[in-house]
Amino acid sequence: MKDRSTTRARLRLALAPLLATCAAAATMVAMAPSASAGTTLGASAAEKGRYFGAAIAAGRMSDSQYMNILNAEFNSVTAENEMKWASTEPQQNVFSYGSADRIVNHALSRGMSVRGHTLLWHAQQPGWAQGMSGSALRNAAINHVTKVATYYRGKIHSWDVVNEAFADGGSGGRRDSNLQRTGNDWIEAAFRAARAADPGAKLCYNDYNTDGINAKSTGIYNMVRDFKSRGVPIDCVGFQSHLGTTFPGDYQANLQRFADLGVDVQITELDVMKGSNQANVFASVTRACLAVSRCTGITVWGIRDSDSWRGSDDALLWDRSGNKKQAYHSTLEALNAGGGTPPPTTTPPPPTTTPPPSGGGCTASVTLNSWSGGFVANVKVTAGSAAINGWTVRVALPGGTAVTGTWSAQASGASGTVNFRNVDYNGQVGAGASTEFGFQGTGVGPSAAPTCTVG
């Protein structure tokens, strides 16, 4: 697990060149809001079809100044630590959602959306997972994705399905980690499991030091392009944007090249080194997001300088006494001034191209994601020419294969021929329409076509 000092060392390393070339001239930022402009970050972003969020800590929710700022200014929330693997699954298959739920319930009760951070990461893993490897770890990781995303199904705007899986430096390749050593396909397995568990959430890949066109961001770009070409379900890329004293000149172009691949982009953990350019950097990031129609929102990584993981960098929008900083005013002004390119209204996914069966009844098809020793199966159930109310899919498993987890269906057993029945929310399927369920297992996935019967 990465501790705070390691993290800070990494940030220092990342920021060192920026600090060395600190520009002396500060850019003056217009401060007066225009007459029709939004008066808070959240309201102004909403006028532009976007959200403006903050990472918050459950441990600070009794601080009234903190909560007053949150409630007044933001319309999106991220849990700073409470949804990480170590927090939500402290013992294997024993889940703990108390702190995360306090954040989620507060947000939803006030009409704020929630970014889920994060399902899989090499850091902040529970001790039991840190010691695992191979298919045991892969299965545990997919189980974690499935269980947590299922628990929060319908409540999460965007999930950081995978966080920080790429290496720093010039390689453009993956970071070494216990997860990476389970096989290069661990990221796509995680995205498929997340989609099956919560089909309504946007699924994001999130990383840092990707704030311009560089080897790392290009490595991620190539992965996203590959995922889109092969139908791996990815909807968005998060750019953490832990920034130094300068604004990268190719920041907007980098967002745009990802958007052009057909994914949304989000600024997910924005904070900026203190100094005379801080307000300008915040405003520049905001303008870049507004200029990219698929940039759907910005999240700052904390509220007051005293809440920040960056300690003495004073990297946020409110000072330690809860006063708005110049950086706050410049950000709001940029939000109010911008807005030439509203994001498109969310379009539903294209209808399935599989023709419905001609008669009544139902059909089922399986998509398998396999690795040595395990697999995830996503099953699509399609109604025939008449609506159905209840279905059962029969799957023949090879000898030695065992089902270790099922979502959106009830399994009759774990091996041999298994019947998967609908659960209460997906039994009704309209004529020609589809629903999905999934299961994961050890051994080899099913090769024979499943059968579907009504009832």
Q: Which residue type does 167 have?
A: A
Identify the active-site residue in 82, 164, 333, 436: 164
Confirm or reject binding of residue 230 to ligand G2I (CB under 6 A).
no
Find tokens 């759907």 and name the residue: 296
CB-wise, 194 or 300, nearer to ligand G2I?
A: 300
Q: Determine whether 193 is exposed, middle or buried from the number of CB atoms within 10 Å of its CB (0-12, 13-18, 19+).
A: buried
Among 205, 282, 309, 375, contact with ligand G2I (rule: CB under 6 A): 309
Nearer to ligand G2I, 48 or 84 (CB): 84
The whole-angstrom separation of Cα 113 and Cα 297 is: 11
Q: Phi/psi zone of residue 346: left (φ > 0), alpha (ψ -120 to 50 degrees), beta?
A: beta
**Is the CB of 87 or the CB of 331 nearer to ligand G2I?**
87
- DSSP secondary structure string, 231-286? T----EEEE--EE-SS--TTHHHHHHHHHTTT-EEEEEEEEE--STTHHHHHHHHH
Give the nearer residue to ligand G2I in terms of CB position, either 247 or 309.
309
Contact 245, 17 (CB under 8 A): no
Which residue, among 447, 349, 419, 426, has the nearest Cα to 383 in the 3D structure? Answer: 426
Task: Please give the residues from 62 up to 81 whose contact with ligand G2I meets the rule CB under 6 A.
Answer: 80-81
Q: How far is the CB of 148 from ligand G2I (least distance, A)?
A: 15
Is residue 7 within the footprint of ligand G2I (CB under 6 A)?
yes
Helix axes 278-291, 251-259, angle to 10 degrees: 30
Burial of 367 (0-12, 13-18, 19+ CB in 10 A): middle
Catalytic site residue 164? yes
Element holding 298 (H helix, E strand): strand 295-300
* Min dist. Cβ of residue 267 to ligand G2I (A): 13
Q: Which is nearer to ligand G2I, 7 or 276 (CB)?
A: 7
Binding window for ligand G2I (CB under 6 A); candidates: 3-11, 13-21, 173-181, 285-293 = 3-11
The 3-state DSSP class for residue 32 equals: coil
Q: How far is the CB of 269 from ligand G2I (least distance, A)?
A: 5
322: left (phi over 0), alpha (psi -120 to 50) or beta: left
Q: 102: how many CB neighbours lie within 10 A of its CB?
A: 16
To the query of whether residue 269 is one of the catalytic residues in this protein, the response is yes
Q: Which residue has the tokens 């007066």?
A: 32
Number of H helices, E strands in the chain: 12, 19
Q: How far is CA 360 from the centre of its chain?
A: 39
Rounded distance, CA 326 to CA 220, Å?
Answer: 34
**C-alpha dist (Å) from residue 278 to 27, 305, 344, 401, 421:** 9, 13, 31, 57, 56
Kindly state the smallest distance separating residue 224's Cβ from ligand G2I, in Å: 19
Among 73, 89, 198, 269, binds ligand G2I (CB under 6 A): 269
Among the listed residues 238, 223, 240, the one whose alpha carbon sits nearest the alpha carbon of residue 294:
238
280 binds ligand G2I (CB under 6 A): no
Which of 44, 182, 240, 382 forms a contact with ligand G2I (CB under 6 A)?
A: 240
Indicate which single residue of 96, 113, 124, 365 sits in contact with ligand G2I (rule: CB under 6 A). 124
Give the shortest CB-116-to-ligand G2I separation in angstroms: 12
With contacts defined by CB under 6 A, name the span among 1-9, 137-145, 341-349, 414-422 that binds ligand G2I. Answer: 1-9
Residue 80 Cβ vs ligand G2I, minimum distance, rounded to whole Å: 5
At its nearest, how many Å lie between ligand G2I and the CB of residue 264?
19
Show the binding pattern over residues 180-209: x = contacts ligand G2I (CB under 6 A), - = does not: ----------------------------x-
Interface with ligand G2I in residues 132-171 (CB under 6 A): 163
Specify the residue for token string 């000092």: 5
Distance CA 228, CA 275 (A): 40
Contact track, ligand G2I, 209-228, x by CB under 6 A: --------------------
Closer of 224 and 316 to ligand G2I (Cβ): 316
Sites of contact with ligand G2I (CB under 6 A): 2-4, 7, 80-81, 123-124, 163, 208, 240, 269, 309
- Residues with a catalytic annotation lie at 164, 269
